Amino acid sequence: MATINGNDSANLLTGTAYGDLIRGFDGADRLYGRGGNDTIHGGDDEDRLFGEDGNDVIAGGKGEDSLWGGNGADRLTDESGNDFLDGGAGNDTISAGEGNDTIYGGWGADQVLAGSGNDVIHAGAGNDYVVGHEGDDVIRGDNGRDSLVGGEGNDVLDGGAHNDLLIGGEGADRFVFTHGIDRIRDFESGDDDIDLRGIAGLDSWAELRSHLVQSGSHTVFQWGTNQLIIENTSVRSLDAEDFMW
């Protein structure tokens, strides 16, 4: 294991095939882990950090940073700034702080905690858990059985393919549904919207209403083999203003 330190200038530092500790300190650094389970600290300023192979720990610090985990089960964290974080392949844990961040989970069962700011999150392939926290976030589950939590703010949640759980949290949220068997846990009629514009053939509220059925305490929108389950909501409590088509 090597310890590789930069300075207050803009450094280009490259690790070895083993597990290294790489620290850029201040300055706009480019740090590459290469092989092994590396620990990479960018420090302050606008850094570009690459974990590459191995189970890496990558910390961006302050500034508008870009972090790539690469292959492996990586842990990516950043403090503040409008950052870009990409977990890559593997079961990654991504924590972003303040700022309007863009986050990609990549392949694997990822956990993404976005922090404050208006973030755009693509969970990627795999069964992911995503929390937007504060801000008006756009969260897309993509492929996999995902759990998406908007948190505070007016969020857009799109589970994507497969069977997903959507929890908007506080705020006027939009739930996007096209296919699969998805569940909305906390729909608030009059505040939240259900976006069905990706479904071809819905032309009127009367037609949409005909596909809503009561199942116990839940409302189910049935479209072929696809279902959207609106938990703890009666069909009678819904009207055209709750939907987009």
Question: What does the pLDDT read at residue 1?
Answer: 80
**Average pLDDT score over the chain:** 97
Question: What does the pLDDT read at residue 202?
Answer: 93
The residue behind tokens 């850094």 is 47
Distance CA 37, CA 53 (A): 8
Q: Averaged over 27-47, what is the pLDDT?
A: 97
Question: What does the pLDDT read at residue 73?
Answer: 99
Reported as a single tens digit per residue, the pLDDT across 42-93 is 999 999 999 999 999 999 999 999 999 999 999 999 999 999 999 999 999 9
Q: Model pTM?
A: 0.95
Distance CA 172, CA 155 (A): 7
Assign a CATH topology to domain 82-244.
Alkaline Protease, subunit P, domain 1 (2.150.10)
Kind and range of the H or E element at 210? helix 205-210
Please give the angle made by the CA atoms of 80, 97 and 119, to the nearest 5 degrees. Answer: 100
Domain(s) of CATH 2.150.10.10: residues in the chain? 82-244
Reported as a single tens digit per residue, the pLDDT across 123-171 is 999 999 999 999 999 999 999 999 999 999 999 999 999 999 999 999 9
CA 222 vs CA 57, 147, 153, 170, 196: distances in Å:
44, 21, 29, 27, 12
